[in-house]
Amino acid sequence: MKVEKRQHWSKKPLDSAEVKQMAVRYGLSLLEASILLRRGITEGKDLLFYLEDDLRFLHNPFLFASMEDAVDRLLAAQEEKEQVFVFGDRDVDGVSATVLLVEALHELGLKPEWKVPEGEETYGLSESVIALAVEKECTLLVTVDCGISNAAEIAKARQAGIDVIVLDHHVSPEDLPLAMAILDPKIPEESYPFPYLSATAVVSKLVWALRFAQTPLYNQRLCLLNVRQGEDGLTVEACHLVNLLVKKRLCLVFTSETPRSTAALLAEFLQDQEIYVWDSGQQTALLKQIFGARALISLFDMAPGILQAFPGLKSLTLPEVLAKSRLPRYFPDTEPLDILVSLFISSVHKKFPPLGSEFTSVLDLVGLSTLADMMPLEGENRILVRLGMQSLNKSTRPGLRSLLMKLKLLGHPLSTTEVSWQVTPVLNAAGRLGEPASAIDLFLTGEEEKRKLLADRLEELNQERKALSQTAWTDILPQARQFWEASGERFALVHDARVPKGITGILASRLMNTLGVPALVMTEQRNKTIGSLRTNRGFETRRFLDAFADLFIDYGGHAQAAGFQMLSSNLEEFKSRLSSMLPQFALTDKTDLTLDLDAEIPLNMLTADLIKIVDYFEPYGEGNRPLIFSTKGLRVLDADLVGKSGAQHLKMTLDAGTAKWPAIWWNALEFLPSAKVVSGSIVNIAYQVGRNYFYGQESLQLTILDLEMV
């Protein structure tokens, strides 16, 4: 009997000329260019984050409007040896952010106190935390992965004489807390250009800024200048730099007809600046053509420092150096001065290793948190996670190494998929079951034996979390289906006091994926109803929550994941209002029955080299799913049903002619009720390519997503 495809396979048609043009411009293979075009990654500003992994392409931390305020306050705490209190959250992002900030404060010579919500304590800053900070005689409180919605608590801290810095990444309420400094890329008025950082990434920006503040360049007024001779005269480009951030630019052209006032304008721009140029002798001579032979001109030559940092440029002229830059391929309007600024920044990273090579060591936790919190893998998140995965795979962080050893994940390079599915759930389990301090201690302790015990404990908690989740899933599914059907298959709602608070988010995610609609799971805790909401299909999460603001004690979250608390006495009013309001929230159509293919691979190209393409498009995660290929005409050499709890998965060996491939089709039995794939069958497949590790040996494997027998 013929086995037919379960889903529609969709492969976006492409213009072959456009594919070739992109391949030539960016130095790509035709297959790489095709995949990028099919995914809609066509603009240079977006391609940069797929093709580059240099720190200089990250956004400058001082783009945060309050970054200098945060840095200066922490430097003052360092100077006065103040007691600093760090308060975080219980999930992977909150744990990682807490660890990173505590380590940074240790670098400053401080001995911070820290705390995250334990046991049944609620999310976010509370009066009890403020009281603890007062008891510890703290004069500075820093919140990480929380705080943006805690205006009242922060006001109480100020009344107690405690300054507060908020490091958060959640959507902000209309009224912001009156903190000493707020770093949150989602604040509407925030000047930082990328809103999708994890909280740990926000902390890493502060860490970099604090390290920069230890250099002589902090808050210094610098000017980069380039004068070039043209056919019609001199072109002068200059910019003011503060903390490696371009603050002001000037471009002037001087010809025989240029009025004297133009030279005065240039002189005013250069006044009181340390002026950096490439080849001070040549630049001085050109400037004297503008200001006169007797003009006193003081310039700093940045060429020696750049050439020391990049010896490969020593034999090149400045035009040749500029021609080697990759910036113009991404930004066609790039000027020579832009390239000099980029070179100057790169040389600073080289000169001060804590800003460059040593900074990458903190990115393991940034990568971990970005994947765990399902931040979109676009923009600078791609570089942060790519470099973070490199750092994570070096296993230089002792606590992380102990955990990977416990999970038997040492000995081979981890992929983002393995981190998302095998590492972050274990760390999250500690917070879900009320012991997030165990995860923080794992990273901060200097005792190897303690690290081993903590790694064991985290895995125990993870197994307990799995058992609790499965029991709760069985309990809540009938109630969820009942509401789903009553709502016209638009929403899933569960209220069950038996559900542990720590797993409401897991259950909501599973309901959303199972039923294909937004899902809300609520439980009870001390006369309060606690809810976790997970949304999809364009559901307007923030508007939904705002509609119940008068019922909530507090609420917040991301576009697709949020939570709230309310008095249990408000529950019935909430349910009533929810049912009447749901029709006002539109859902986009389901796309579950369509497989978007990245490329069709001919039989003769289905070789081991395909894994290089898969690696090229790492990291995978939110907004950048793993590549999906299709191939026609493979012969099945063998096929067997396998599975620990009953034969339900199909394991095969497929013959592509040039290579034989092991393949697995998970839960295949669901789709093969009346037909079998047998040896000798010819099949067309949609699949992903990955690695399989067994006793330290690596092999490649196809994961079948859909199949048809022809």
Least confident of 164-168, 238-242, 410-414: 410-414
Q: Report the alpha-carbon distance of residue 313 to residue 169 in Å, rounded.
A: 40
Residue 594: count of CB within 10 angstroms of its CB: 11
For 94, 234, 348, the CA distances from 268, given in Å and listed in that order, are: 48, 18, 27
For 127, 130, 159, 311, the CA distances from 601, given in Å and listed in that order, are: 60, 60, 66, 42
**Average confidence (pLDDT) over 500-505:** 84
For 104, 132, 308, 706, the CA distances from 599, given in Å and listed in that order, are: 45, 57, 44, 15
User: How are beta strands 682-694 and 629-642 bridged, if at all?
Assistant: antiparallel
pLDDT at 626: 93
pLDDT at 674: 42
What's the token pair of residue 79?
A: 């100077």
Q: Where are the domains of the chain?
A: 8-39+598-709, 61-212, 221-351, 359-464, 487-584
pLDDT at 673: 52
CATH says 8-39+598-709 is which class? mainly beta
Q: Report the alpha-carbon distance of residue 650 to residue 663 in Å, rounded.
A: 8
pLDDT at 609: 95
Confidence of residue 501 (pLDDT cuts 50, 70, 90): confident
Q: Report the alpha-carbon distance of residue 374 to residue 388 in Å, rounded.
A: 15
Q: Report the alpha-carbon distance of residue 94 to residue 112 in Å, rounded.
A: 16
Of the chain, the percentage scoring pLDDT greater than 90 comes to 74
pLDDT tens, position by position, 437-491: 999 999 999 999 999 999 999 999 999 988 888 888 989 999 999 999 999 999 9
pLDDT tens, position by position, 637-669: 998 888 876 667 889 999 999 899 999 998 887
Task: Tell which residue, 701, 703, 606, 708, has the closest CA to residue 657.
Answer: 606
| CATH code of the domain occupying 359-464 | 3.90.1640.30
Domains 61-212 and 359-464 share a fold: yes
Q: What are phi and psi of 192, to 5 degrees?
A: -65, 130
Q: Report the alpha-carbon distance of residue 494 to residue 472 in Å, rounded.
A: 11
Place of tokens 């380590």: 103
pLDDT tens, position by position, 382-411: 999 999 999 999 988 999 999 999 999 988
Q: Report the alpha-carbon distance of residue 450 to residue 433 in Å, rounded.
A: 20
Correct CATH for 61-212 of 3.30.390.50, 3.90.1640.30, 3.40.50.720, 1.10.3720.10: 3.90.1640.30
| CATH code of the domain occupying 221-351 | 3.30.420.10
What's the token pair of residue 355?
A: 């800003």
**Most confident residue range from 72-81, 526-535, 558-567:** 72-81
> Are the beta carbons of 535 and 560 closer than 8 angstroms?
yes
Which residue type is seen at 612? K
Q: Report the alpha-carbon distance of residue 340 to residue 241 in Å, rounded.
A: 12
Judge whether residue 1 has pLDDT over 60: no
What's the token pair of residue 290?
A: 């503008």
User: How are beta strands 140-144 and 528-534 bridged, if at all?
Assistant: unpaired
Q: What architecture is the 487-584 domain classified under in CATH?
A: Roll (3.10)
pLDDT at 231: 84
Judge whether residue 6 has pLDDT over 80: no
What's the token pair of residue 695?
A: 């006793």
